[in-house]
Amino acid sequence: MNKHRMLVDGAWVDAAAGEWLESINPFTANAWALIPRGRKADVDRAVDAAKKAFYGKDWRGLTASARGALLRRLAELLATEADRLAEIESTDNGKLISEMRSQLHYVPKWFHYFAGLSDKIEGRVLPSDKPGFFNFTREEPLGVVAAITPWNSPLLLAAWKLAPALAAGNTVVLKPSEHSSVSALAFGELFEKAGFPPGAVNIVTGLGNEAGEPLITHPGVAKIAFTGGDRTGQAVYEQAARGIKRVTLELGGKSANIVFDDADLDQAVNGVVAGIFAATGQTCIAGSRALIHRPIYDAFVERLITLAKTARMGNPLDLSTQVGPITTRPQYEKVLEYMQVAKGEGAVCLLGGGPAQRPECGTGWFVEPTIFAGVRPEMRIANEEVFGPLLSLIPFDDEEEAIRVANSTIYGLAAGVWTSSIRRALAMSERLEAGTVWVNCYRVTSYMTPFGGFKRSGFGREGGMEAIREYLQTKSVWIDMEGKTANPFGLR
Ligand code: NDP
């Protein structure tokens, strides 16, 4: 079993306490790697290193274009390593190799895009109502950024944070999920190769409460960029408030995929299945509620079940597998528990509804792709994030009802609308309370496009021009151009 080390101040180190955590392959349910069990002492060293790098001339002294060039070099190295990193992630979190490969080949584009923005960060010269004064703004980095990422898309979500943070001139301490840290550590090797100075990027592995909490509470951290569950997100936000730190939070959802009777139903059925069963439902944007127009309800549900039944489960490293295991044992138990909750609430299980006992699933943590009908908007299963392959079907009569039900949860991350009417598409996209609305498509994201939540799905945006602003602060500079004697006791 490979024993990994953490990246602190440009060096590969063990945890100060010399302890390790097992990383489990969810397909076999066996440990396959050891990662250092970092704690406060390790976090302190990493934040100190990031702080030193932030103020050091090797980072701070770089021109914006030189910083962009470093990010481009990193992107190129990452592209050459994409297949290897994909295999690591697939082994570590059980997501399909086909998905992880396409994800990892896409990740370099995030670094290219933000590399391009690094030398386009501009201040403004402002008009002044005070004669004789010159007034301008500078956009400056914040300092040390703590990036905390979950297990479902480890490097993609790290890139969403690191690329804009570094492009803006910050330094970073990354704390990946304890369940999927290995790819982040492999990624860490590329920073030195790309020519980043020691301490610009540090990676501390460990448990959320032992390594994550000391990181977010560290006084040397200026900003926290977090993706994860909303309860942890709330705790992060509370801690950040104590330290008056900036935060971006991306906290999951209960997204509605809304199918109207005028939709292309072949497309819609594919979109609804992909929305919930891709990534085994372990994605913040999972379309976990299908709202179906009543005139097509029966026919659509039949097609949905026919398609979902064809899902090939098995080894995520096999290119033909379509649904892989659940990443962690607690998550596996949580998904199974929600199946019982749904049944207890009176929902009718049309497909699946329990653990997958297929021979191709081996000893892994698999659950059957599951569809519940008879779900009412007030049920827990229609409101709480399951983070697994569990779809709730809810019929609706008209646009008003679709909007009311879609917007009725505490979340607001994403929504899908399937219709051939442009009027309906525009009306729905305006009224849906979600950070992303997809029309006749689902799960499309890009480095050029802002991504983030409404309501309890969080705030702040990752991707696009909006993302780099999350890592900058504005300074106003006043210069007295006339040098008149200042009034010693008053403002000018
Ligand atoms: P968490 O929100 O607990 O984990 C996200 C990250 O935060 C991990 O790196 C975790 O570390 C870290 N963390 C945990 N506790 C703290 C803390 N007190 N201070 C700082 N960092 C902390 O997600 P879980 O893995 O527990 O999943 C729980 C639920 O969250 C899921 O069932 C799902 O509903 C949702 N989720 C949403 C995601 C999204 O994309 N929005 C992604 C993942 C989960 P560690 O893993 O090492 O404990």
* 136-156 confidence digits (pLDDT tens): 999 999 999 999 999 999 999
Residue 239 confidence (pLDDT) above 80:
yes
Q: Which atom of ligand 1 is nearest to the CA of 331?
A: 32
Cβ 177 under 6 angstroms from ligand 1: yes
Cβ 368 under 6 angstroms from ligand 1: no
Least confident of 259-263, 345-349, 487-491: 487-491
Residue 455 confidence (pLDDT) above 70:
yes
- Residue with CA closest to ligand 1 atom 8: 177
SS (H, E, C) 205-226: CCCHHHHHHHHHHCCCEEEEEE
How far away, in angstroms, is 16 Cα from ligand 1 center?
24
Percent of the chain's residues with pLDDT above 90: 97
Pocket test for ligand 1, best of 177, 250, 327, 410 (most atoms within 8 A of CB): 177
Average pLDDT in the 426-436 region?
Answer: 98
Cβ 236 under 6 angstroms from ligand 1: yes
Cβ 148 under 6 angstroms from ligand 1: yes
**Given pLDDT bands bounded at 50, 70 and 90, which one contains residue 490?**
confident
Q: Is 333 a catalytic residue?
A: no
Residue 214 confidence (pLDDT) above 80:
yes
Cβ 208 under 6 angstroms from ligand 1: yes
Distance CA 446, CA 448 (A): 5
Distance CA 235, CA 204 (A): 20
Distance CA 239, CA 245 (A): 9
**Given pLDDT bands bounded at 50, 70 and 90, which one contains residue 1?**
confident
Q: Which residues contact 126 (CB under 8 A, 6 or more apart)?
A: 135, 136, 137, 476
Which residues is 290 bridged to in the sheet? 257, 393
| Matching residue, tokens 């097509």 | 296
Q: Is 250 a catalytic residue?
A: yes
Q: Which atom of ligand 1 is nearest to the CA of 385?
A: 34
**Catalytic choice (81, 178, 213, 250):** 250
How far away, in angstroms, is 228 Cα from ligand 1 center?
4
Using CB atoms within 10 Å of the CB of residue 46, give its burial: 0 to 12 exposed, 13 to 18 middle, 19+ buried: buried
Under a CB-based contact definition with an 8 Å cutoff, are residues 153 and 283 in contact? yes
Q: Which residues contact 439 (CB under 8 A, 6 or more apart)?
A: 416, 417, 418, 419, 425, 428, 429
> Minimal CA–CA distance to 209: which of 242, 183, 231?
231
Pocket test for ligand 1, best of 47, 152, 232, 335 (most atoms within 8 A of CB): 232
Strand 133-141 relative to strand 472-480, pairing: antiparallel
Tell me the torsion sign for CA atoms 225, 441, 79, 114: negative
Residue 86 confidence (pLDDT) above 80:
yes
Per-residue model confidence as pLDDT tens digits over 248-258: 999 999 999 99
Residue 486 confidence (pLDDT) above 80:
no
421, HSE (Cβ side, Cα atoms, 13 Å): 10
DSSP string, 415-435: EEEE-S-HHHHHHHHHH--SS
Distance CA 462, CA 285 (A): 14
pLDDT at 489: 79
Cβ 230 under 6 angstroms from ligand 1: no
How far away, in angstroms, is 179 Cα from ligand 1 center?
10
> Minimal CA–CA distance to 261: which of 218, 291, 229, 223?
291
- Residue with CA closest to ligand 1 atom 15: 208
Indicate the average pLDDT of the chain. 97
- Residue with CA closest to ligand 1 atom 46: 177
Per-residue model confidence as pLDDT tens digits over 156-168: 999 999 999 999 9
Residue 485 confidence (pLDDT) above 70:
no
Under a CB-based contact definition with an 8 Å cutoff, are residues 224 and 146 in contact? yes
Residue 275 confidence (pLDDT) above 80:
yes
Q: How far apart are the first and last CA of the chain?
A: 69
pLDDT at 492: 61
Q: Which atom of ligand 1 is nearest to the CA of 250?
A: 41
Per DSSP, helices labelled H in 119-180 are: 154-167
**Given pLDDT bands bounded at 50, 70 and 90, which one contains residue 484?**
confident
> What letters, b where the CB count within 10 A reaches 16 and e where it falls short, cover 22-35?
ebbbbbbeeebbbb
Percent of the chain's residues with pLDDT above 70: 99
Per-residue model confidence as pLDDT tens digits over 99-128: 999 999 999 999 999 999 999 999 999 999
- Residue with CA closest to ligand 1 atom 13: 208
**Given pLDDT bands bounded at 50, 70 and 90, which one contains residue 487?**
confident
